[in-house]
Amino acid sequence: DWDIDYYYNLFIKDIGRNPTNVECFDLSQSNSEHSRHWFFRGKLIIDGEEMPHNLIEMIKQPLNLNKGNSAIAFRDNSSAIRGYDIRTIIPENPMRPSPFKKQSLNYNLIFTAETHNFPSGVAPFPGAETGTGGRIRDVQATGRGGIVIAGTAAYCVGNLLIPGYELPWEDRSFIYPANLASPLEIEIQASNGASDYGNKFGEPVIQGFTRSFGMRLPDKERIEWIKPIMFTAGIGQMDSRHTEKGEPETGMLVVKIGGPAYRIGIGGGAASSMIQGENIAELDFNAVQRGDAEMEQKLNRVLRACIEIGIKNPIISIHDQGAGGNCNVVKEIIYPAGAKIEVRNIQLGDATLSVLEIWGAEYQEQNALLIKSEEIGLFKQMCAREKVPYAVIGQITGDGYVILHDEIDGSTPVNLSLKKVLGDMPQKTFHLNRIPQTLSKLKIDFTVKDALERVLRLLSVGSKRFLTNKVDRSVTGLIARQQCAGPLQLTVSDVAVIAQSHFGLTGAAISIGEQPIKGLLNPASMSRMCVGEALTNIVWAKISALEDVKCSGNWMWAAKLHGEGARLYDAAVAVSDIMTKLGIAIDGGKDSLSMAAQVRDSSGNTETVKAPGTLVISAYASCPDITKVITPDIKKPGESRLLYIDLGNRKNRLGGTALAQVFNQIGNEAPDVDDPKLLKRAFNAVQELIEKDMVLSGHDRSDGGLIITLLEMAFAGNCGMDVELGVRSSELGVNNVAIASLFSEELGLVMEYLPDNENEIMSILEKSSVPYQVIGRTLQEKRIKITLKTHNSELITLLDEDMISLRGIWEETSYQLEKIQINPECAEEERKNNLDRKGPDYILNFEPARTPAALLERAVKPKVAVIREEGSNSDREMSSAFYQAGFEVWDVTMTDLLENNITLADFRGIAFVGGFSYADVLDSAKGWAGVIRFNKKVREEFNDFYNRQDTFSLGVCNGCQLMALLGWIPRQGIDDKKQPRFIHNISGRFESRFSTVKILKSNSVLLKGMEGSVLGIWVAHGEGRAHFPDEDILSEVEEKSMAPIRYVDDNNEVTTRYPFNPNGSSRGIAALSSPDGRHLAVMPHPERTFLKWQWSWMPEEWRENLAVSPWLKIFQNAREWCGE
């Protein structure tokens, strides 16, 4: 009613005419709740009393008290904090092929987070991929342009109901709506969509969470994520000179860059603001966008080229196109100056689109820019080099109006004052009520062992291998810590860490805190626990200071349903209060306030099912040294001890915990942060211990409680532990006390340390008034022993179990999901092979050494061309690796070669990089190979290079596949029908692994001196299985030692067993070399493992003693060969 009254008065009383249909659609989308956040900015009246602040004002209060390192907050597509002065390499001229030059720059750190819930419920795969794509564009569109580095992803769904795998807490009588995908389908397909988009774009996903929940509460209300959460966040960086957007000035050009317009994403802004089921199902489906990661990747290259010009960056301002399409993004970028837009200048992929559809469709991979007219020629050159469409769609007028003109009929479908429809719009008022809750005390009628077997299977607690196996976690080569840790690469990491450059150790840490089930009991407690969890996760990376922690706050709530708005308000008050006390702040975020779905039973009765009100706190902070990161895997079994910091002051409340959920309860009292000052003191004390290298491993107490904290440390360390917990009182009964001690999810920390450091550790903790207990020791024996020491010193055994069996239960739900989404034989093989692994046994047969400074500083160096095609995504890490080996490294595109802008004649080496050239349409690298093979001039140039005796080539991943299709490996002259090539992985999906390979004796010049070494290396590909149509060729390869790198198992035996061999390659083949050794094609990624901190796991003695990563030698060998 408010909207109708406002727009009636605007048009009839103010403008004096009826709106056009395009204007009506425009305003319904661009001024929807999704786009304008009316509730968070609105006046709130609760139980008749007006609240002193709206939600936005309240959330901003901690930042107002501590701006500190904040560079951008609450006013752009992302937030930013001050970063560091860094050294990096940048192409000398981004408009042409040119050498990389080292530069000193100051880069700020960018963070953003958002959700794509409605689309992911309707069509999970495209919904999630466009959620990722839209969030990537938020990073790009920060200031005058941002550089994308890494992402996070999360999924909250209803009961999974996995066929043949009954979980006793899931109610199979629940009915689900036909217009939405099932929770199981969303969990798999949404994560597939987000993963696929990131894989193809070249953005690693390095952190996340997932939950499954559906239950009738004691008051009989059904709460479930029928409308799911698809959450995505991203971290990047920006040249500090580009922090502020420029203001629109008369004469500036309004430019759109990216993919053409299609009839997709129509009405998404409004549809996302509704309860699922209120809209017509067909309209919901039409409102879902579709993704094209390759186009976004090309778009990203143009933006990065502009950024890396530095002070001459032609971009004055940039905004990403998302909800509302042009309706929204154009008005935002021209505000307040106004512009005249020519609708027919917008590039179309479908000529049948109406003006309304062109203006309102949320077609993806599009950004809007302001560029001065004199700079458009420069911008055009960049777009041409990267093969990206762009269009000048209008010009800034300065009259304050958005005017959409149609040159075909001379009409003006939109003519609106920006001030009236975007600027000075009146505040909305919301009348809310509190409603009393019906809660029941948690009933404990089970043993520790019974509880543990259930809790280990809960999605939020157990292994997330089914998610991490399929998403690239290493691309960019800037990842210092991702989800997996330890020799077995288990999904237990608390914090993710990125580097700002391959040439330094500064970076950023990110963490997540979310506790939605506790919010069903007390939304204020939930908020405080979210903040606490984010901090007890990020604490394991040494950051610049606690006060430098900034956070994104993302709110997913059915806020307009009875009672929920008041609960959201209470949650916001609590988060503002605790952040103020801790000295940290929220600097951005998003809200999604229609988190409910309608369900109709067979009788036609409708029930509105709310999702749990959810707050996700994403914390980020600058890291002065990215190597100072503590992981949860136990490092010194049999030598070390365990120390426990209880931040819950022994309260051990069980409401809203994993334990409660798996027994179909929620309890009546949630864990809470009663003492923020203690949390602050503990945080700083642990940071001091990390700085002094006194912590071997560490983990926070969270989902599942202390018992899960301890078990995950043992699981990841592949060892056992002997733990003794002391209690002050056993009045409630030993079993109840044991359950509460082990399964409560109050905040807490567990650290592994060596006895020699015990006194200093205790001194630091005592100095900070941080309570602690030494609770046990680690064991080499793979057994978990937990005893309870009562107040009268009686020892009671709570658990004495085989670690391997418990780890198998922890892996079970992930396995059940894995066998649905991949070749089930592979899932079963991994389950068996991982059950009792001993871990990799690396061997180093040479001494890795830094490249001498004299070689790095030479005026004349051998030249290597790092060649990329559209869709390539691994060129920067490849360039850095060659640069650090002493090469003059050039950035060369296939367009450069096709247009005769460069020749290969002057190069000693070429590197074909990884990625998804042409999005792997027609199979991996076929499009790229076709460009070379079917262009006579280019084909001859490459052939001449191959046969020159003073050249070498390296192809990695997509480049490896390309070299096979070009007939470069194993040798030239093989008939196409017999040519070895790399085909789809036997698992049937993209594989992301930190695998073990062995380097065999060969004549490969790049592997000289590395023979016999067994090393860890990143793997990230979907088509890496070496396939030999002709067995005679395979025999020749074996006889002539042309397969010099092989996948091996934990016994260092060449293997085809999954997952040691991640793709099923014949005879474990991971690389092929030419007969003369000059040309090497490798499926794994040495360029993402050439720095020690890039390794996901490395033996402690290597980490302490090696000067550099062993894989740097490949690139050093190439340079040495060039000098021979």
Nearest one of 643, 610, 876, 896 to 762, comparing CA atoms:
643
Q: What is the DSSP letter of 261?
A: B
For 556, what's the count of Cα atoms within 13 Å in the CB-facing half-sphere? Answer: 33
Across the beta sheet with 43-46, the strand order is: 49-50, 43-46, 429-432
Are residues 537 and 630 in contact, defined by beta-carbon separation less than 8 angstroms?
no
CA atoms of 753 and 757, how far apart (whole Å):
7
Is 1087 one of the catalytic residues? yes
CA atoms of 937 and 547, how far apart (whole Å):
59
Residues 6+ apart with CB under 8 A from 919: 200, 292, 293, 294, 871
Nearest one of 574, 555, 557 to 565, comparing CA atoms:
557
Torsional class of 266: left (φ above 0), alpha (ψ -120 to 50), beta (otherwise): beta
Q: Are strands 783-789 and 795-802 parallel, antiparallel or unpaired?
A: antiparallel
Are residues 785 and 800 in contact, defined by beta-carbon separation less than 8 angstroms?
yes
Count Cβ atoms below 10 Å from residue 437 Cβ, excluding itself: 15
Count Cβ atoms below 10 Å from residue 383 Cβ, excluding itself: 18
Which is the catalytic residue, given 957, 984, 1021, 1023? 957
Is 306 one of the catalytic residues? no
Are residues 327 and 421 in contact, defined by beta-carbon separation less than 8 angstroms?
no
CA atoms of 723 and 718, how far apart (whole Å):
16
What is the CA angle 627-630-636, rounded to 5?
110
Nearest one of 903, 930, 891 to 385, comparing CA atoms:
891
The letter for the amino acid at 568 is: L
Are residues 631 and 485 in contact, defined by beta-carbon separation less than 8 angstroms?
yes
- Angle between the 706-717 and 448-455 helix axes, to the nearest 10 degrees? 60
Please report, for residues 452, 595, 724, the alpha-carbon distance to residue 787 in angstroms, rounded to integers and kept in the order given.
15, 43, 5
End-to-end CA distance of the chain: 81
**CA-CA-CA-CA torsion sign (278, 281, 283, 289):** positive
Which tokens sit at 489?
């690469």
Is 957 one of the catalytic residues? yes
CA atoms of 465 and 453, how far apart (whole Å):
19
CA atoms of 268 and 346, how far apart (whole Å):
20
Nearest one of 507, 475, 471 to 150, comparing CA atoms:
475
Please report, for residues 139, 342, 795, 973, the alpha-carbon distance to residue 230 in angstroms, rounded to integers and kept in the order given.
18, 36, 46, 50
Coil, helix or strand at residue 416: strand
Instruction: Tell me if the bond preceding 204 is cis, omega within 30° of 0.
Output: no
CA atoms of 10 and 674, how far apart (whole Å):
50
Are residues 463 and 488 in contact, defined by beta-carbon separation less than 8 angstroms?
no
CA atoms of 953 and 965, how far apart (whole Å):
15
DSSP H or E stretch at residue 623: strand 614-623
Coil, helix or strand at residue 1068: helix
Which is the catalytic residue, given 203, 1085, 1120, 1122? 1085
Based on DSSP, count helices (H) and strands (E) in the chain, helices before strands.
36, 47
Count Cβ atoms below 10 Å from residue 352 Cβ, excluding itself: 7
- Residues present in the chain in total: 1124
Which tokens sit at 842?
């690396």
Please report, for residues 27, 449, 556, the alpha-carbon distance to residue 708 in angstroms, rounded to integers and kept in the order given.
50, 12, 27
Catalytically active residues are 957, 1085, 1087
